[in-house]
């Protein structure tokens, strides 16, 4: 039976293993190393230095304080480094981790840890798949249906081999400590004569001290993979939403051109010329964000096309704060809103009307407002406007992808008086990068 003090030490070893793994996983450089399955020699050395710094510190703490035996996980750290990084990482980690023990005269620590690190590299090499290293667990289910598959059989055999290898490494340490007393640290030597139960408990703690870092680091890898997948998904959604807008805009503009060709060919020619300028800009522009200055220049070209069509009935006013011109906004953010104002707010109004665009900065936010004095939107339709049509719902969806919850879009309208659409987004200046939200 285990004594209470022995049980506490074994449990503390597991807590230390989890703590060291969690500490390393907080560093972005270490996270990037975990994401790679194939590494250059420099990357293997960097991975070894990272593992050695954490596990070597534990060995040094035990050596120089002559207590805190639970923090010495040199053997486990060498094995884990080899399993994650391969032979070079395991060998170098074993050598570096053992240095504090060597200073104390535990001269068998270096060959033992280096050999165990190489043994970890062997486990990595014989794994059926590289991901099987991260799946290691001493507790695994045996599904009879899956065991009929060759790949599942190989994975079970590999899990068993990993388990026996870790136990072998612990038994090897025990043997070396017994044959060469004082040349290597082991709990069995520290506790004196131990029975079979204590030996099994020590082996079990070693197995779990190897498994815990692998599980913690695999969770970190999975989180980074999910973030990358979400980023790619957001980019794909943005691309799809942008492609929705451009054909919609082109379709309406070409309809205007077709009507002008019969009634006023010169004006039709002018519209085609301005449309070609817009198309060149759309074909060149691939970024999700653009300076407000460029977005307004695009709107000027668009409004010139619409004003050719509507004549003096359509008026366009800009009230732009000069400080906002270099702030970043989503590409094609204003055009769908202005197009809705023209189509649904002003086109049915005999006397025409005016569209006003205003921009301002306040409390670290950029606010852009589009107003018209058109016929307005009925209250029943206003309630679910974000779910209807291409323009407004498209802009709202793109804002959601880009900024998550850190944006605001609203529409106020009164029948017979007009509509006001406002957008409030984070203040992003030219040159700053924005990571799409999840």
Residue spans per domain, the chain: 4-228, 264-426
Decide: 423 and 322 in contact? Cβ < 8 Å.
no
Q: What are phi and psi of 153, to 5 degrees?
A: -60, -45
- Residue 245 pLDDT: 55
Q: Cα separation of 142 and 130, whole Å?
A: 21
**Structure tokens, 265:** 């060919």
> Residues near 399 by Cβ (< 8 Å), separated by ≥ 6?
330, 333, 407, 409, 423, 425
Provide the CA 371 distance to its chain's centre, in angstroms. 38
Q: List the chain pLDDT tens, one digit each, 438 residues.
A: 678 888 899 999 999 999 999 999 999 999 999 988 888 999 999 999 999 999 999 999 999 988 888 899 999 999 999 999 999 999 999 999 999 999 989 999 999 999 999 999 999 999 988 888 998 888 765 555 555 666 677 888 899 999 999 999 999 999 999 898 889 998 887 777 667 888 899 999 999 999 999 999 999 999 988 887 776 776 666 666 565 555 666 776 788 788 778 888 887 888 888 888 777 766 665 567 889 998 898 888 888 877 876 778 889 999 999 999 999 998 888 888 888 888 888 877 878 899 999 999 988 899 999 999 988 888 777 777 776 656 788 788 888 888 888 999 999 988 888 999 999 999 988 666 555 554
**Structure tokens, 412:** 């106020």
Burial of 61 (0-12, 13-18, 19+ CB in 10 A): middle
pTM: 0.64
Strand boundaries in 337-432, DSSP class E: 353-362, 365-372, 408-414, 418-426
- Residue 263 pLDDT: 82
Q: What are phi and psi of 8, to 5 degrees?
A: -60, -40
Distance set, CA 136 to CA 25, 223, 404 (Å): 18, 18, 37
Range 264-426: architecture per CATH: 2-Layer Sandwich (3.30)
Buried b / exposed e over 401-422, threshold 16 CB at 10 Å, is bbbeeebebebebeeeebbbbb
Half-sphere exposure of 68 (CA within 13 A, CB side): 14
- Residue 341 pLDDT: 87
The conformation of residue 435, written as its DSSP 8-state character, comes to: P
Decide: 421 and 392 in contact? Cβ < 8 Å.
yes
Residue in this structure with the two tokens 């990272």, named with its chain if needed:
50
CA angle 294, 297, 301 (to 5 degrees): 140
Q: What are phi and psi of 424, to 5 degrees?
A: -125, 120
Q: Is 260 helix (H, G, I), strand (E, B) or coil?
A: helix
């Amino acid at each position: 039976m285990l004594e209470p003090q022995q049980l506490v030490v074994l449990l503390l070893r597991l807590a230390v293993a989890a703590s060291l793994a969690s500490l390393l996983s907080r560093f972005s450089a270490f996270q990037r190393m975990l994401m790679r399955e194939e590494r250059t020699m420099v990357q293997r050395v960097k991975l070894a230095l990272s593992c050695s710094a954490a596990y070597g510190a534990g060995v040094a703490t035990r050596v120089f304080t002559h207590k805190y035996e639970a923090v010495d996980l040199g053997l486990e750290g060498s094995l884990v480094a080899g399993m994650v990084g391969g032979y070079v990482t395991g060998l170098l980690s074993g050598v570096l981790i053992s240095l504090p023990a060597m200073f104390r005269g535990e001269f068998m620590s270096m060959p033992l840890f280096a050999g165990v690190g190489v043994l970890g590299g062997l486990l990595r090499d014989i794994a059926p798949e590289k991901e099987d290293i991260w799946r290691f667990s001493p507790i695994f289910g045996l599904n009879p249906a899956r065991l009929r598959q060759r790949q599942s059989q190989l994975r079970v055999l590999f899990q068993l081999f990993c388990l026996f290898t870790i136990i072998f490494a612990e038994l090897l340490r025990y043997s070396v400590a017994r044959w060469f007393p004082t040349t290597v640290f082991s709990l069995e030597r520290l506790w004196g004569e131990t029975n079979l139960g204590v030996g099994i408990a020590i082996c079990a703690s070693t197995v779990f001290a190897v498994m815990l870092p692998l599980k913690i680091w695999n969770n970190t890898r999975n989180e980074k993979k999910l973030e990358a997948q979400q980023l790619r998904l957001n980019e794909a959604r943005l691309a799809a939403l942008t492609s929705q807008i451009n054909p919609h805009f082109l379709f309406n503009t070409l309809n205007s051109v077709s009507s002008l060709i019969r009634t006023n060919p010169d004006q039709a020619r002018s519209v085609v010329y301005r449309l070609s300028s817009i198309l060149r800009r759309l074909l060149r522009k691939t970024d999700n964000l653009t300076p407000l200055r460029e977005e307004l220049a695009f709107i000027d070209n668009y409004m010139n096309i619409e004003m050719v069509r509507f004549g003096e009935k359509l008026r366009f006013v800009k009230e732009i704060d000069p400080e906002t011109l270099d702030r970043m906004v989503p590409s094609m953010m204003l055009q769908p809103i202005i197009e809705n104002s023209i189509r649904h707010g002003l086109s049915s109004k005999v006397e025409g009307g005016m569209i006003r665009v205003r921009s301002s900065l306040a409390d670290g936010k950029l606010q852009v407002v589009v107003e018209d004095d058109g016929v307005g939107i009925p209250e029943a339709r206003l309630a679910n406007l974000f779910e209807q049509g291409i323009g407004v719902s498209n802009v709202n969806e793109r804002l959601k992808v880009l900024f998550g919850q850190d944006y605001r879009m609203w529409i106020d309208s009164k029948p017979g008086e007009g509509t006001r659409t406002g957008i409030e987004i984070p203040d992003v200046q030219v040159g700053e990068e924005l990571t799409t939200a999840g």
